[in-house]
Amino acid sequence: MIENNATVDISSLNEKIERESAFVDILTAEINKVIVGQKEMVERLLIGLLGQGHILLEGVPGLAKTLAINTLSQAVHGSFSRIQFTPDLLPADVVGTMIYNMKVNDFSIKKGPIFANFVLADEINRAPAKVQSALLEAMQEKQVTIGDETFILDRPFLVMATQNPVEQEGTYPLPEAQVDRFMLKTVIDYPQMAHEQLIMRANLKGGFEKVNQVVSLEQIARAQAAVREVYMDEKIEKYILDIVFATRNPEKYNLPDLKPLINFGASPRGSINLAIAAKCYAFIKRRGYVIPEDVRAIVYDVLRHRIGITYEAEAENVTSEDIIQKIINEVEVP
């Protein structure tokens, strides 16, 4: 059973979280030297990092998706690798393989690009299912097996996979069960005109400022532990569960018109990730407790890829975002 308010000293917890989260502003400022105007994407990257989850980014080419995760890795001095997914990619190209070494007359292991703190899986829907599942297994288990040896992946370990919403010919859409393993799915849009002007100027000038290491991997590990301590009241837990259960049984939440539009609702991973992401959001806002606004700020990214819509919804141009919007407007806020 959850601790009650009497056993949780909110003020001392608040002080602790404020101390532990002091680096967030410094880290964000460092990333913003290079990433202009994509505030939401940077925030979601930090939530993925602190919540030990992974992110699926959808956006047209040229929106600084690669640059964002590379900049983050430089700012925390983590290792970075980029895997360009193509139809001829093999699982061994991602996780590594065993190579015969003639000198010693034995096999040696060559590790793949998955062995890094930050992994960019570019255009994940361009590679066949075998490769996708090799990556997703590493994401889920945080370990890789090559031959008969198992290797634990470095911590922190963050995968940011990108999907291109245009040019769907020759792509392999991720199955629902695999998409569910991503903590967040963030859809990014074009920058505003003023921001694009700054991007254009920086490129014409010959590049952006150099990114310095401002946070250590040890600080990130401490912050990941501190995030779990952020206080979540039972009322907030109930609010999260109401939102998730409304995706499964909308008629019980006074939303009978959603029933024919939803093929399947969010899985228990939805509730878990919504709770973790809300704690991370509170941490980023330097608060030791979760409020309903934290849940509402992150709910679209956590649930948009976890709700299956029916053909009827597609025919009526109803998206999973529209469904989430109706649910959060209806579900009672604590």
Reported as a single tens digit per residue, the pLDDT across 126-150 is: 888 888 888 888 888 888 888 788 8
**Token output for 117:** 């703190």
Q: Give the separation between CA 25 and CA 149, rounded to whole angstroms.
A: 41
pLDDT tens digits for 80-118? Answer: 899 888 888 888 888 888 888 887 888 888 888 999 999
Please report the pLDDT score of residue 169 as a whole number: 58
What's the predicted TM-score (pTM) here?
Answer: 0.87
Helical H segments across 96-146, by residue range: 129-141
Contact 20, 9 (CB under 8 A): no
* Chain position carrying tokens 């917890």: 13
* Chain position carrying tokens 């330097």: 286
Q: Give the separation between CA 182 and CA 69, rounded to whole angstroms.
A: 16
Domain annotation for the chain: domains and CATH numbers: 23-219 (3.40.50.300), 230-330 (1.10.8.80)
Please report the pLDDT score of residue 64 as a whole number: 77
pLDDT tens digits for 28-39? Answer: 888 888 887 788
Please report the pLDDT score of residue 167 as a whole number: 60
Q: Give the separation between CA 312 and CA 59, rounded to whole angstroms.
A: 25
Q: What 3-state class would DSSP assign to 34? A: coil
- The separation between CA 174 and the C-alpha centre of its own chain, rounded to angstroms, equals 16
pLDDT tens digits for 296-332? Answer: 999 999 999 999 888 998 898 888 899 999 999 988 8
Please report the pLDDT score of residue 227 as a whole number: 92
pLDDT tens digits for 253-299? Answer: 888 898 988 988 898 999 999 999 999 999 999 888 999 999 999 99
